[in-house]
């Protein structure tokens, strides 16, 4: 006789209570090397039609955040020549909001057997969320952001993105002192249709 599904109420409670923590409220220390390896491993454990792994990671921490932040400031100033200096400084410090930023790169594979690019991009989105869940399961705050620099050609070039690659998300991870507040969620009956 087949066994019944195992009830895991602690996992249901964790998922039901999950919230993003604003990156601006994060602080060091971030995950250690072992935790980071586990977070990345769990991040990659997503639906992936034909096992193409159509995504990759760039891990930004330490001084790399400052160097890449200078590129952000320069690019924001170039795109917005009349912007005040304090706004450029704000943009320069974006990657300093958390001790760890994982960039998830959507890297679609040309597959002769026909896994659509859209499915591969959805898989990269699932990676972003899995990274958040793994970090939060360790007790860290996590936030999935894109913001303007995900679409800035010079910044993407600096990160070494190839022609067909895009940034699926920046996953900010760090310690948070307080649980994020609740926010309005969708009304499930309004967005659900049942067919029988």
Domain 30-61+99-175 fold: NADH Oxidase (3.40.109)
CA neighbor of 77 nearest in space, from 90, 96, 68:
90
Between the alpha carbon of residue 115 and those of residues 37, 55, 118, 130, the distances in Å are 28, 14, 8, 21
pLDDT in tens, 27-81: 999 999 999 999 999 999 999 888 889 999 999 999 999 999 999 999 999 999 9
51: exposed, middle or buried (Cβ count in 10 Å: 0-12, 13-18, 19+): exposed
pTM assigned to the model: 0.93
The confidence band for 1, taking pLDDT boundaries of 50, 70 and 90, is: low
pLDDT in tens, 115-164: 889 999 999 999 999 999 999 999 999 999 999 999 999 999 999 999 99
CA neighbor of 97 nearest in space, from 55, 134, 68, 56:
68
Are residues 42 and 129 in contact, defined by beta-carbon separation less than 8 angstroms? no
Q: Give CA–CA dist 87/186, Å, rounded.
A: 34
Peptide bond into 89 cis (omega under 30): no
Chain mean position to CA 187: 25
Nearest 5°: phi and psi at 144? Answer: -95, 115
Structure confidence at residue 76 (pLDDT): 96
Higher pLDDT among residues 178 and 153, named by residue: 153
């Amino acid at each position: 006789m087949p066994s019944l599904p195992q009830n895991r109420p602690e996992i249901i409670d964790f998922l039901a209570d999950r919230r993003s923590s604003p990156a601006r409220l994060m602080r060091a220390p971030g995950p250690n090397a072992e935790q980071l390896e586990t977070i990345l491993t769990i991040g990659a454990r997503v639906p992936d039609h034909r096992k193409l792994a159509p995504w990759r990671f760039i891990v930004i921490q330490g001084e790399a955040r400052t160097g890449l932040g200078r590129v952000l400031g320069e690019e924001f100033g170039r795109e917005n020549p009349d912007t005040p200096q304090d706004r450029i400084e704000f943009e320069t410090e974006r990657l300093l909001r958390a001790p760890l930023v994982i960039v998830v790169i959507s890297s679609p594979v040309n597959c002769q057997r026909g896994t659509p690019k859209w499915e591969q991009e959805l898989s990269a989105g699932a990676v972003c969320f899995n990274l958040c869940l793994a970090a939060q399961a360790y007790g860290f705050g996590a936030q999935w952001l894109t913001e303007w620099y995900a679409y800035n050609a010079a910044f993407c070039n600096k990160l070494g993105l190839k022609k067909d690659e895009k940034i699926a998300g920046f996953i900010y991870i760090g310690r948070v002192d307080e649980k994020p507040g609740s926010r309005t969620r969708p009304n499930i009956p309004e967005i659900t249709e049942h067919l029988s």
